[in-house]
Amino acid sequence: MAAVAAQAVVRPAAVAGADGDSLRIGEVNDSSRVTILGARGADGLRVGSDVGNGLWGGTQAAGQFGVLGQAGTSTGYGVGGANGPTGTEGYLGHPSLGVFGRTESGGTFGGLAGSSAVSGGAPLDTAHYGLLVAGRVAFYDRTGLLTIAAGKSSVSASVRALGPTGAWTATTVVLATLQTNRAGVYIQAAVANPRTGKITIYLNKKVTAATKVAYFLLDLEPVMVWPS
């Protein structure tokens, strides 16, 4: 059913308009060129429905988006949603999830490198989710696996930065766990250095054989401005 709906949007079965014609309400309008709607001092376009989705977009082109939003200022939002009728923010308009994403094909990602790939929020109680994910999660520039060599008690590594602002902030910290079982050995400290972009993981003593440790970088205070 989803495939049929996508085909109906991308390749209309019936055409009621052509290049240069006015938009025809209640009919399928087809064009070989882009159609731009805009307004000065007001919303560019408002679409609503009382029984279905207010706005639905689809694409059959690889690497493209069914719906793409872009903000022209650093404090704007490319795509936003709000719940009703209480006015509580719920991105994508979901009543209990801050962000909900799903893919039905392998190799597809929920976000791209940028200011914020995905962000979500929920009321500070146990009845809602700020982010709910079903399936595997990968943090490509925030996680990794290091090896502490035999005879050593620490390891350091540079962590690459992705996106226009990089992976590091003044509040970036690192968490680490042992991935090799060594009796009497534990992680004494995991230190992040935002200035140099390096992390160092210390053990309580030297290991007699190569020992693997995993790390995860996170920010204590994400830089985010919520809509008022």
The whole-chain average pLDDT of the chain stands at 74
> Same domain for 147 and 215?
yes
Residue percentage of the chain with pLDDT more than 70: 61
Does residue 195 belong to any structural domain of this protein? yes
Query: Which two structure tokens, joined as six digits, stand for 59?
Result: 């694409």
10 inside domain: yes
Q: What is the pLDDT of residue 190?
A: 97
Residue 88 and residue 149 share a domain = no
Position 4 scores a pLDDT of 47
| Average pLDDT score over residue span 69-87 | 67
| Residues 128, 162 within the same domain | no
Nearest to 162 by CA among 208, 116, 199, 196: 116
The HSE-up count of residue 30 (CA atoms within 13 Å, CB side) is: 9
Q: Map residue 7 onto helix, strand or coil.
A: helix
Q: Specify if 34 maps to a domain.
A: yes
Give 149's pLDDT tier (boundaries 50, 70, 90): very high
Contact by Cβ (8 Å): 113, 163: yes
Give residue 67's pLDDT.
82
Laid out side by side, the sheet with 172-178 consists of: 143-148, 211-219, 172-178
Which residue range is the domain that position 100 belongs to?
79-105+113-137
Give the range among 147-151, 157-161, 179-183, 210-214 with minimum mean pLDDT: 157-161
> What sign does the CA torsion over 59, 62, 65, 71 have?
negative
125 compared with 19, residue with greater pLDDT: 19
Task: Report the predicted TM-score, pTM, of the whole model to 2 decimal places.
Answer: 0.52
Tell whether omega for the bond before 85 is within 30 degrees of 0, i.e. cis.
yes
